[in-house]
Structure 1
Amino acid sequence: MEENDKSHIIAEICQAVLGGELERAAVVLRYTYPFTRPTVAGRKYTESEALRIFIRDGFVDRYSGQRLVFSPVLRLLSRLLPEEFPFHPNWKMDACHIAYWELSPTLDHVVPVTLGGADNATNWVCTSMLRNSVKANWTLEALGWHLVPPGDLHQWDGLLQWFVTYVEEHQELAQEPYFRRWHRAARSAWQQAL
């Protein structure tokens, strides 16, 4: 029997229920496999905070080691090549290139907030949107996952510098709120990282 196997507890509770011993079943459950209501903290971070974590982690998915691409790069490609690289504002799978799910970095709470994890940089890691969706509110142990080392920003920067350079060379992009916001955040975060 695995160390984390809780099925034997449920089996014991079922035996107590079968024997008409609901109070014993309740006691077993209460002391060996209790329901614990987590304190739910709010989840919020700014674009700059997210970018600092992406840079800290070297634009690497900390659950798989896969290299990730700064999301505004993908959005820029969708703007330039809308038929070949479509984007949907709600990320609809049938209307959005799969690269958005596979390669876009996002923050994940290593210990889910719903299980009492902190909502701050000590508990945030960079992961893909796809893995973030799969992980949801599960622990790494429950999924059989582990953290991999962060990437080396000098070997892979998620095309962050490419984005900054491209926007600076194409100033019309800086007029669009999305690109302007991320360009400003990227320049600031990169300077702080150096």
Structure 2
Amino acid sequence: MEKIEAIELSALKLLQQNLSDAKTIINEEYPFQKITAQGRNYSDKEKMEQFIRDGFIDRYSGKKLVNPGILKVLSHYMPETFPYHSHWKMEECHNAYWEFVPTVDHIYPVALGGADSMENWATTSMLHNSIKSNWTLEQLEWKLYDAGDYSQYDGLTGLFIKLIQADEELLRDSYIKRWYKLSVDCDKA
């Protein structure tokens, strides 16, 4: 029985004042499944390695993403034009942070029993990660796009490194410093 049919049939049973049958239909055809949150365990280094493995491609849209540090450099030089907010408050932060900063998502949600392992990780934008939440790709009718090739597109990592090397004062910003160190370390590997 389709889920929508179970809901309809259960509601019809309620209309007939048959609570017992309504409960039975839901319990058998579309039971509540309690989601138990489990820990997610990856370091910034593992995130950067995943971004590189996926070629800075959003695996849920196929679109290019960028090294997180490069956007913060833009915000440093142009705080009014390209604002940043430490908690990404939408009305105070440039939308590019949501659209182009990569994060790691679990392809099959950990909350639904998915593994917290590299085989279940995908690079996606903060925007798509927020939308996806604990839903499966099938539930959202999304697909998994192929990873990109880091040697063809590096997420502007090379440009980010050059910007820092041209103005090392930028390293006073802890966010920029962290992504610079990760970028240089991963670039050496």
Contact 1:57 1:150 in 2 (8 A): yes
CA–CA separation in structure 2 for the residues paired with 1:96 and 1:183: 21
Contact 1:40 1:116 in 2 (8 A): no
Deviation at 1:14, TM superposition (A): 2.3
The count of residues paired between Structure 1 and Structure 2 equals 189
CA–CA separation in structure 1 for the residues paired with 2:58 and 2:87: 22
Alignment partner for residue 174 of structure 1, among 167, 171, 174? 171
1:89 equivalent to 2:86? Answer yes
Alignment partner for residue 41 of structure 1, among 34, 38, 41? 38
1:12 equivalent to 2:44? Answer no
Deviation at 1:65, TM superposition (A): 0.8
Contact 2:68 2:179 in 1 (8 A): no
Contact 1:55 1:153 in 2 (8 A): yes
Contact 1:63 1:127 in 2 (8 A): yes
Deviation at 1:53, TM superposition (A): 0.9
Deviation at 1:76, TM superposition (A): 0.6
CA–CA separation in structure 1 for the residues paired with 2:37 and 2:127: 24
Give the letter for the 2:79 counterpart: P
The aligned residue for residue 76 of structure 2 is 79
Contact 1:106 1:127 in 2 (8 A): yes
1:116-137 per-residue CA deviation (whole Å, 9 max, x = no partner) reads 2222322221111111222222
1:57 equivalent to 2:58? Answer no
CA–CA separation in structure 1 for the residues paired with 2:131 and 2:37: 20
3-state SS, counterpart of residue 65 of structure 2: coil
Alignment partner for residue 183 of structure 1, among 180, 183, 188? 180
3-state SS, counterpart of residue 74 of structure 1: helix
Deviation at 1:175, TM superposition (A): 3.7
In structure 2, list runs of 5 or more residues that go unmatched: none
* TM-score (norm: length of structure 2): 0.89
1:127 equivalent to 2:109? Answer no
Identity %: 44
Kindly report which structure 2 residues correspond to 1:135-154, keeping only aligned pairs within 5 A, or say none: 135-154=132-151
Deviation at 1:83, TM superposition (A): 2.4
Give the letter for the 1:142 counterpart: Q
* TM-score (norm: length of structure 1): 0.87
